[in-house]
Amino acid sequence: MPFLQHLCQILYDSGLGTAIRESDYAYSLIESVHVIAITLVVGTIAVLDLRMLGFILRPIAITRVAHAVFPLTWSGFVIMFISGSLLFWAEAAKMYNNPAFRAKIVLLALVGLNPLIFHTTVYRRVHEWETARLAPWRARVAAIASLSLWGSIVIAGRAIAYF
């Protein structure tokens, strides 16, 4: 058995994993928290992306929008990560073979790479373009990548139930 699959089986068989998986209400409660946290993360990220693309909040500097959504995005991310980990924990052995879950993990890795590249390149000179109605093309590419990746992650996450 591959190491990762073995690890998934250990999580699946653990007390916590079993307790969530066999619970009357905990699983659906964690699921709901996860979905609400996703709306917080993806919603606030979308606000910044749409601002860079020049669709919304055009009179407001991009850095101001970024600072406003930052705490919301990250607190949402923490809740999303913890609740998602618990859901995975409960179903790890089944998730290992789930194609939608695998796709979601790959997409999550990519969506994590996106802000890394963005913040080390074009965002370093944000003060040159923060008040522009439309961000430079590289920032717009990052915004489009972010919107499509997060959209795909939500679709892949929902699709887990169908495999």
CB of 22 to another protein, least distance (A): 5
Query: What residues numbered 76-95 form the site for another protein, per CB under 8 A?
Result: 90-91
CB of 130 to another protein, least distance (A): 33
Q: Which of 119, 140, 155, 152 is nearest to 50 (CA)?
A: 140
Rounded to an integer, what distance in angstroms lies between the CA atom of residue 94 and that of residue 13?
Answer: 11
Nearer to another protein, 32 or 131 (CB): 32
| Position 158 contacts another protein (CB under 8 A) | yes
Site string for another protein, 19-58 (x = CB under 8 A): -xxxxxx-xx--x---------------------------
CB of 24 to another protein, least distance (A): 4
CB of 161 to another protein, least distance (A): 4
Which residues would be at the binding site for another protein (CB under 8 A)? Answer: 20-25, 27-28, 31, 90-91, 158, 161-162
